[in-house]
Structure 1
Amino acid sequence: MHNEFDDELLRLRVLMGEMTARAGESLEKALRSVRERQAAPAQECMDNDDVVDSLECRAERLCLRLLALRQPVARDLRLLVGSMRVASNLERIADEAVNIAERSLVLLESPAHADTPALWTMTGACLELYAATRRAWTEGSAELASAVRKENLAVHGLHVKAFRELSALMVAGPEAMERSMQLSFVAYSVKRVCDRCANVAESVGFIVDGRDLKHAGCAGA
């Protein structure tokens, strides 16, 4: 039977849906700014950060209020706890996007850097991983969430390749070293975004079947 609690859960889902969209926009704009050497997407990413922060606060307040007043159990309880975890990770993803955008603006002050195919492969994989993470959350799919966690390990391998590629470029001279260092910071932020995606996937698994994948050995709810 439909009740007020169902309406509040729907409101939470709408908030979380908007937050996943906004964080994804920030990430896409930041990475596009680096790849295409454009300032506008970087600025748009940074301007979007306050919106993501506000959405996180609203989602967290709603979850805490529902926990206190409704005293949910079973999956509803896991949904509220998991949503707070997801909101926190989405906010961190948006923060990493801002870090990337700031590095992009620094890179625009110097000549174009040498091509870095390993880094571009990594950034492409990151965007795909975020899209898969968003689908796992939206659909409440433990199977998709498991795939995200596995793919994150592959991104770690891409990060190693990108770092080696950038390290090799540092010997070309002082300017090349500075550019490569900035891109190394970008690569690290991309890796952190993917780690946050894996965290979101863990929360999806927790909500769906009660498994706490973040803490090995925890019993199901």
Structure 2
Amino acid sequence: MTERHHFEKEYSLLRAELVKMVSLVSDSIDMASKAFETLDRNLAQRVIDLDNEIDNLNREIENIVYDIIARFNPLGKDLRYVVAAIKLANNLERIADHACNFAEKTIWIAQNLPNFVPSQTLKEMFGRVIQMLQNTVLAFSRRDINIAIETWKMDDIIDDLDRKVTSDVENKDPHALVLNVLFSRDLERVADHLTNLCEEIVFIETGRELRELI
């Protein structure tokens, strides 16, 4: 087997592990959203339990990348993908951390404030972030820079919704206000990580910064 074949085998393993991590993080955010909507403590706990697997996968991807660079000295697009893989994995791991934050807050609310009602803006934020995540996964799987760019632009909508959350909490109940703001801050950070992922997808495919293509 030639060195190129060995490289392609490791490269395929790296991509497979990234695809697996994308899938797990998507599941984590989706479950966190559903747990929040229904105050389902069991589902929220599943999100927390999944975090260890995602953390381990992040470390595994880092090790594969270091091994590929040390053994094969990749160039061009191969190098861009390998280097970007660590950034992709790190952003995915942080998104999963925020999903855990959602889950932990959901468990606390279910135990202490079972009548908590999230603001309509917060519900819209959750929906928009889920849409961003789905689009980012699609851009990654299809290697489609146009989807990545359009998804990146959605971050401005999330920022606007984040600023609006504090203004539409019914009766300005202090507990509700604080919880809505805490959730919105986590969602805003998830959106930031998704924009980072979109930037990496564009860089992998083109070798250029996303902002240069707008």
TM-score (norm 1): 0.89
Equivalent residue for 2:151? 148
Whether the 8 Å contact between 2:165 and 2:180 is mirrored in structure 1 is no
Residue from 170, 191, 194 that aligns with 2:191: 194
1:116-169 Cα shifts (integer Å, max 9, x gaps): 211111101110100001111111111111011101111111212223223x54
Q: Which amino acid letter does the alignment assign opposite residue 187 of structure 1?
A: S
Sort the Cα spacing of 1:207 and 1:184 in 2 relative to 1 into closer, same or farther, 3 A: same
- 1:72 is paired with a residue of what secondary structure? coil
Equivalent residue for 2:16? 14
Whether the 8 Å contact between 1:15 and 1:55 is mirrored in structure 2 is yes
Aligned counterparts of 1:79 and 1:115: Cα–Cα separation in 2: 40
Q: Which amino acid letter does the alignment assign opposite residue 158 of structure 1?
A: L
The yes-or-no answer on 1:165 pairing with 2:162 is no
How much identity, in percent, do the aligned residues show?
A: 25
Residue from 52, 55, 58 that aligns with 1:56: 58
Flag structure 2 segments of 5+ consecutive residues without an equivalent: none
1:19-58 Cα shifts (integer Å, max 9, x gaps): 0011111111111111111111110000000000011000
Residue from 102, 105, 108 that aligns with 1:106: 108
Deviates more, 1:72-81 or 1:27-36: 27-36
The yes-or-no answer on 1:91 pairing with 2:93 is yes
Whether the 8 Å contact between 1:19 and 1:90 is mirrored in structure 2 is yes
Flag structure 1 segments of 5+ consecutive residues without an equivalent: 171-175
Equivalent residue for 2:37? 35
Whether the 8 Å contact between 1:23 and 1:94 is mirrored in structure 2 is yes
Q: Which amino acid letter does the alignment assign opposite residue 113 of structure 1?
A: F
Whether the 8 Å contact between 1:16 and 1:59 is mirrored in structure 2 is yes
Residue from 201, 204, 212 that aligns with 1:207: 204
Structure 1 residue 115: Cα displacement: 5.1
Sort the Cα spacing of 1:62 and 1:169 in 2 relative to 1 into closer, same or farther, 3 A: farther
Aligned counterparts of 2:201 and 2:163: Cα–Cα separation in 1: 28
Whether the 8 Å contact between 1:122 and 1:162 is mirrored in structure 2 is no
Q: Which amino acid letter does the alignment assign opposite residue 67 of structure 1?
A: I
Structure 1 residue 111: Cα displacement: 3.3
1:72-102 Cα shifts (integer Å, max 9, x gaps): 0000000001111000000000000001111
Equivalent residue for 2:132? 129
Equivalent residue for 2:79? 77
Whether the 8 Å contact between 1:163 and 1:187 is mirrored in structure 2 is no
- 2:168 is paired with a residue of what secondary structure? helix
TM-score (norm 2): 0.92
Residues matched between the structures, number: 209
- 1:3 is paired with a residue of what secondary structure? helix
Structure 1 residue 112: Cα displacement: 1.3
Structure 1 residue 180: Cα displacement: 2.6
Whether the 8 Å contact between 1:119 and 1:162 is mirrored in structure 2 is yes
